[in-house]
Each structure stands twice: as structure tokens, then as C-alpha cells.
């Protein structure tokens, strides 16, 4: 089942975590280590040139063959490279421990994944800005607890989602994953006595040194990355829920796009199921659940053990791939989203109770808030709120029928339009 899910929701970002790409990054990291060692005069000149020339000859099949024999995946890479390099092979991996390489490779994968995801999120923000501009003045009924509340605008609803995506984007942007270490077996540089070597290797790879480490980079880095991906997934879920609930048969205001040949149900041909948004709601649970694994990986014993290693090989790629899929999907949904203006108006008319707040404002100066509230509250569950209010002699003694009808005939959306414009102005990527 996992492989089926991996295929169904796989996106090109998965290539970052392929065995081929991981090997390429491992070999590149070993090469940059030899280059830095040469530059610092710690190994003979010319070693890095030989390593660079021989890297293309290292095959994944050979690495896997060695790994089966020695049961150490990184040392299998070192041996496969060394056997291609002759005498120069003796200098490969000098001063390094396995996690100097592995954590550096993982840092590059997370950095590259983050870059791709941020670019897609920019598109999400662009699509939402378009929706705000188009619908900022279009009234709709707001809902709380699944019930009619008071009028607002469609654009104001999109403005709330825009701000949440913007904030998630900014927090992911600040999440520093491009850090690693080359500080040896317990992090104290006993193998090299050189912070300069660490800085030089990582600089060549576009990374920075973590301020201090054990044999591994603190897993606070990795759990933070997983958390920020989960935050993005959760914001996508909230927007997806709105779309699929507003697509309900009794509401029919918003509709996710569908193709002309799309089948809603195998048994009920009439159905237009919101399956895309429902799928996103479910996938968000997967990304969120992986955060707990990341947090469990923080409390490693002493200077290192490997209880983090196996789960990281699963949850980091999975969270990246699923998050990327979710962003691509919500972008496609937003791009083709249908909003039914006629049903927006119909539901506003049905939601006459949404005018209660405006009527209460008229009552407060005359009888106070609590009394005014009670005068209206007695019509909870009314089948025709508008008519009941217009027939209420107590209310009409306080607010003229003309004023009541004027309230029922207009939709007070407060500062919805102004706030929507403010969000567009203040929060730009």
C-alpha cells in the first residue's frame, strides 16, 4: 500500500530523495572534502582531481553490492569510490565520520526541497490575491458553528486564507535547514582539529556550520522542518474544507473544478463529489503525524545512536512529497474554482437572521444590549425571521418598519472590503 500511495501522490520533488540522487550528493560531498583538505595542505595535491575524474565510474549497483556485504551504507559509498581511485582512494573520507557526510547530504536535500516548495507557495499566494481582487466586494453569508452568522464578502474569506498562507510561507522561509557539520565522531573536531575545514567544505556545498553538534546535527533542525511543512498542509486543509463544505448540495456556492468526463460516484451518476479537497484533508493528517516522529528523534542518547535514522528515511521524504503534492493540487483547485453568484444571493436571502446584529445596534440605544438581545433571541429557529421581526410590535415600537425593511434589504459587510485591501497591501511576497 505504501508503494501505491507513493506512486499516486508522487511529484518530481521525489527525485531529490532517490537512491541515485543521494549517491550523487554523497560522492559530491566526499569530493568537496578532498578539495578542502588539499587547500588546507592536509593531503597531497592532485587527490581531488583524481576523485573528480573517477566519480562517474561509481555505480549504484556496486555500492549496493558492497552494502550487502558490510552492512554500512555510507562506508559502501566510500569503498566503491576508493576502489576506482587507486592510491588516491586512501585519502577519501579522511577526517570525516559517516554522519558528517549523511547529515550534509540530508541538509542539501531539505534545502532543495524547501526551495521548490516555496516557489509553489508563491503561486498559491498569487492565485489567492486574484480571488481577493475579484471578490472583495461580493457579499456572502458568513457561518459560525455551521450556521448562518452575518454577511461578509467572498474576498474577505479569501483574505483570511491568504494571510495564513503568507504567514506559513514566511515561517518556512525562515526555517534554516541549510546547516550541517564536519566535526567528527563526537562533534569536538578530534579528527581534524579544524573548524576551518568544516566551514570550507560546507561553503563549497552552499551550507553553513551548525554552532555546535555531537556526531549529528541537533534534530531540532529536522523536526522544525517537518513542523513547518505540517503547518502548510494544515492551512491547505482549512481552505479545502471550506471549498468542500460550500459545495454541499444544500449550499452550492463554491465548486472545485472537474473535467467533463469526471465520474462522481460508481453508483450515483448525478453526484459531483468534492474528491480533490477531501483527499487534501486526509493527506494533511499524514504530514502532521510525521511531526511527532521528528520530535521523538530529538532525544538521542549520549553523542549519538541511530534510532532517528530509520524513521527519518521515511518521514522526511514522505512529508516533502505529500506537501508538494498538496500545494500543486490546491493551486489547480484555486485556478479552476467555480463560485456560483446566484446561490450566494439565494443563501443571503435565506439568511435573514444575519441581519440580527444590525437590528440589535438599532435597539441598544433605546433599551440596552441585554434587553435588545432578548427581543431578537426569541426567534431562534424561526422559519421566517424577517417576517417574524416585522410582525413584532415590541420591536416596531423601537425601530420603524421602514428602517427594519431597509436593514433587511441591504447587506452590511462591515470593514470586509477595507480589510481585504489592507491585507493585499501589507502582505506581499
Q: Which residue has the cell 507513493?
A: 6
Q: Which residue has the cell 467572498?
A: 154
Give the three-class secondary structure for 116: helix
Beta-bridged to residue 223, according to DSSP, are: none
| Three-state secondary structure of 27-77 | HHHHHHHHHHHHHCCCCCCCHHHHHHHHHHHCCHHHHHHHHHHHCCHHHHH
All three cell numbers of 77, joined, read 559509498
For residues 8 and 60, is the Cβ–Cβ distance under 8 A? no
Task: Tell me which of 3, 61, 145, 266 is the catalytic residue.
Answer: 145
265 an active-site residue? yes
Give the three-class secondary structure for 122: helix
For residues 165 and 425, is the Cβ–Cβ distance under 8 A? no
- Among 240, 223, 239, which Cα is nearest to 319's? 223
- Among 107, 118, 296, which Cα is nearest to 201's? 107
| β-pair type (179-180, 147-153) | unpaired
Task: Tell me which of 18, 72, 265, 292 is the catalytic residue.
Answer: 265
Which are the catalytic amino acids? Answer: 145, 265
Amino acid at each position: 500500500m505504501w508503494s501505491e500511495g507513493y506512486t499516486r501522490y508522487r511529484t518530481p520533488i521525489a527525485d531529490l530523495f532517490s537512491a541515485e540522487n543521494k549517491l550523487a550528493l554523497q560522492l559530491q560531498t566526499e569530493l568537496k572534502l578532498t578539495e578542502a583538505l588539499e587547500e588546507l595542505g592536509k593531503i597531497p595535491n592532485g587527490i581531488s582531481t583524481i576523485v573528480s575524474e573517477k566519480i562517474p565510474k561509481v555505480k549504484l549497483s556496486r555500492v549496493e553490492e558492497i552494502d550487502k556485504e558490510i552492512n554500512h551504507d555510507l562506508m559502501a559509498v566510500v569503498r566503491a569510490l576508493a576502489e576506482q581511485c587507486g592510491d588516491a582512494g586512501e585519502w577519501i573520507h579522511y577526517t570525516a565520520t559517516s554522519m558528517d557526510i549523511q547529515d550534509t547530504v540530508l541538509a542539501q536535500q531539505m534545502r532543495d526541497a524547501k526551495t521548490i516548495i516555496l516557489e509553489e507557495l508563491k503561486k498559491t499566494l498569487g492565485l489567492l490575491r486574484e480571488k481577493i481582487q475579484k471578490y472583495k466586494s461580493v457579499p456572502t453569508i458568513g457561518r459560525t458553528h455551521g450556521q448562518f452568522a452575518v454577511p461578509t464578502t467572498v474576498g474577505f474569506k479569501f483574505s483570511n486564507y491568504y494571510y495564513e498562507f503568507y504567514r506559513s510561507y514566511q515561517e518556512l522561509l525562515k526555517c534554516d535547514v541549510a546547516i550541517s557539520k564536519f566535526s567528527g565522531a563526537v562533534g569536538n573536531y578530534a579528527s581534524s582539529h579544524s573548524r576551518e575545514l568544516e566551514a570550507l567544505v560546507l561553503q563549497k556545498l552552499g551550507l553553513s556550520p551548525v554552532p555546535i553538534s555531537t556526531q549529528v546535527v541537533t534534530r531540532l533542525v529536522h523536526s522544525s522542518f517537518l513542523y513547518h511543512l505540517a503547518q502548510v498542509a494544515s492551512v491547505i486543509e482549512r481552505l479545502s474544507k471550506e471549498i468542500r463544505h460550500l459545495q454541499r448540495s444544500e449550499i452550492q456556492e463554491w465548486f472545485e473544478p472537474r473535467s467533463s468526463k469526471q465520474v462522481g460516484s460508481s453508483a450515483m451518476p448525478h453526484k459531483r463529489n468534492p474528491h480533490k479537497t477531501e483527499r487534501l484533508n486526509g493527506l494533511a493528517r499524514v504530514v502532521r503525524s510525521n511531526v511527532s516522529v521528528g520530535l521523538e528523534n530529538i532525544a538521542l542518547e549520549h553523542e549519538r545512536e541511530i534510532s532517528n535514522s530509520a524513521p527519518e528515511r521515511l518521514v522526511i521524504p514522505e512529508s516533502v512529497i505529500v506537501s508538494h503534492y498538496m500545494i500543486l493540487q490546491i493551486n489547480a483547485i484555486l485556478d479552476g474554482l467555480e463560485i456560483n453568484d446566484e446561490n450566494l444571493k439565494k443563501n443571503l436571502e435565506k439568511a435573514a437572521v444575519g441581519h440580527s446584529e444590525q437590528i440589535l445596534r438599532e435597539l441598544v440605544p433605546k433599551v440596552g444590549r441585554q434587553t435588545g438581545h432578548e427581543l431578537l433571541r426569541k426567534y431562534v429557529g424561526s422559519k421566517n425571521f424577517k417576517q417574524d421581526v416585522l410582525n413584532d410590535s415590541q420591536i416596531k415600537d423601537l425601530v420603524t418598519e421602514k428602517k427594519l425593511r431597509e436593514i433587511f434589504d441591504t447587506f452590511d459587510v462591515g470593514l470586509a472590503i477595507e480589510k481585504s485591501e489592507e491585507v493585499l497591501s501589507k502582505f506581499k511576497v
